[in-house]
Amino acid sequence: MIRGDGKEYKLLAKWVDNLKPQNFYLTVEIGVREGYGSFVITDILKNRNYFHIGIDPYGDLLYKHLDKQIDHEKGTIAYWTDFDGKPLINEDGTPKIPTYPNSMKQNFLEAFKNHENFILYQLEDTAYFNAFGGGVPLYLNGQKKLLNVYDFVHFDGPHTTEKVMEETMFFAPRSRIGTRFVFDDIKTYEMDKIAYILQHFGFRTSETGDNKCMLERTE
């Protein structure tokens, strides 16, 4: 069973549901974890022509989650903290180590085993960018196509300003009028800087919730 690990998924569903009509939608989620965001996206689009990509390294890798959690000298973080920087503790008193456990991947793949229009790339975001900067090869209706225009991107991976900016700069040039970018946990990084950069690609902030915001390319 897929569980939501965040709030405002009703907003996410609405933003997918009223996408600009297209003949085909290419959608992405960075930071799949247990898959609730990807489930919402694919469930809304199930009666439309779409293909969904999930990007998540899993593999028990350290999870560099928030700006304030990063030790900039060591380049890693030692334990989970809440949004105020307070350590989170396991039941046995040990600090919670931030990882992408493979158990999350298995739960997600089991829930998605009957989804045909979906692929999971077990990669970090930068590895995906290096591999598919020239387009993603997909086999659709008996033909191989190289797709390099994205219609919906859910940014829910590392929540640091530097990483979200890097992700944004990959997808922004690979968009079209009507493309929507949804950013999660926007209070944990400098969303205003990212929105400012996106203005130069024709994106405007369309709606903001408590933790998510959606920008749409209008020109």
Residue 111 sits in a domain of what CATH number?
Answer: 3.40.50.150
**In the chain, how many domains are there?**
1
Instruction: Round to whole Å and give the CA distance between 71 and 91.
Output: 25
Q: What's this model's pTM, rounded to 2 decimal places?
A: 0.83
For 72, 76, 139, 141, the CA distances from 156, given in Å and listed in that order, are 22, 19, 27, 30
Residue 89 located in a structural domain: no
Domain contains 86: no
Run means of pLDDT, 10 residues per run, the chain, 219 residues: 57 95 96 87 94 86 52 47 60 65 75 84 94 93 92 92 96 98 92 97 95 96
SS3 54: strand
Residue 70 domain flag: no
The answer to whether the CB of 82 falls within 8 A of the CB of 69 is no
Alpha-carbon 132 to chain mean position? 16
The answer to whether residue 90 sits within a structural domain is no
Instruction: Evaluate whether residue 66 is within a structural domain.
Output: no
Q: Name the E strands within 133-212.
A: 136-140, 143-147, 152-155, 180-183, 203-208
Q: Would you state the pLDDT for residue 87? A: 62
Residue 127 domain-assigned?
Answer: yes
Write phi, then psi, for 174 (nearest 5 degrees).
Answer: -110, 45
Distance of CA 152 to the CA centre of its chain: 10
Report if residue 32 sits inside a domain.
yes
Asked whether residue 82 is domain-assigned, the answer is no
4 CB neighbour count, 10 Å cutoff: 14
Supply the range of the domain harboring residue 120.
9-60+101-217
pLDDT score of 62: 56
Q: What is the pLDDT of residue 71?
A: 47
